[in-house]
Amino acid sequence: MTGGQKALIDKLERQGTLSRDEFQALLDFRTQESAQYLFERARAIRHAVYGHDVYMRGLIEFTNYCKNDCYYCGIRRRNRQAERYRLTKEQILDCCAAGYELGFRTFVLQGGEDPHYTDERMVDIIRAIKTRWPDCALTLSIGEKSRGTYRSFREAGADRYLLRHEAADARHYAQLHPAELSLENRKRCLYDLKELGFQVGCGFMVGSPYQTNECIVEDLLFIRELQPHMVGIGPFIPHHQTPFAAAQPGTMEMTLFLLGVIRLMLPGVLLPATTALGTIHPTGREKGILAGANVVMPNLSPTSVRDKYMLYDNKICTGDEAAECRMCLQRRVESIGYRLTVSRGDSKIEA
Nearest distance from residue 146's CB to ligand SAH, in Å? Answer: 15
Nearest distance from residue 265's CB to ligand SAH, in Å? Answer: 19
Nearest distance from residue 144's CB to ligand SAH, in Å? Answer: 7
Q: Show Cβ contacts of residue 210 under 8 Å, excluding neighbours closer than 6 positions.
A: 172, 175, 176
Q: Give the single-character DSSP code of 103.
A: T
Nearest distance from residue 99's CB to ligand SAH, in Å? Answer: 19
Nearest distance from residue 249's CB to ligand SAH, in Å? Answer: 8
* Three-class DSSP labels, 323-347: HHHHHHHHHHHHHCCCEEECCCCCC
Minimum CB distance to ligand SAH smaller for 5 or for 201: 201
- 276-304 core/surface letters (b: 16 or more CB in 10 A; e: else): bbbbbbeebbbbbbbbbbbbbbbbbbbee
Minimum CB distance to ligand SAH smaller for 8 or for 126: 126
Nearest distance from residue 174's CB to ligand SAH, in Å? Answer: 16
Minimum CB distance to ligand SAH smaller for 241 or for 303: 241
Nearest distance from residue 67's CB to ligand SAH, in Å? Answer: 10
Minimum CB distance to ligand SAH smaller for 234 or for 288: 234
Minimum CB distance to ligand SAH smaller for 12 or for 325: 325
Minimum CB distance to ligand SAH smaller for 9 or for 138: 138
Helices (H), the chain: 3-15, 20-28, 32-50, 89-101, 119-132, 147-156, 170-176, 183-195, 213-226, 252-265, 275-280, 284-290, 303-306, 322-335
Q: Show Cβ contacts of residue 180 under 8 Å, excluding neighbours closer than 6 positions.
A: none
Minimum CB distance to ligand SAH smaller for 110 or for 199: 110
Full DSSP string of 24-72: HHHHHT--HHHHHHHHHHHHHHHHHHHTTEEEE-EEEEEE---S---TT
Residues forming contacts to ligand SAH in the complex (CB under 6 A) are 72-73, 110, 112-113, 141-143, 163-164, 166, 205, 234, 236-237, 239, 276, 311-312
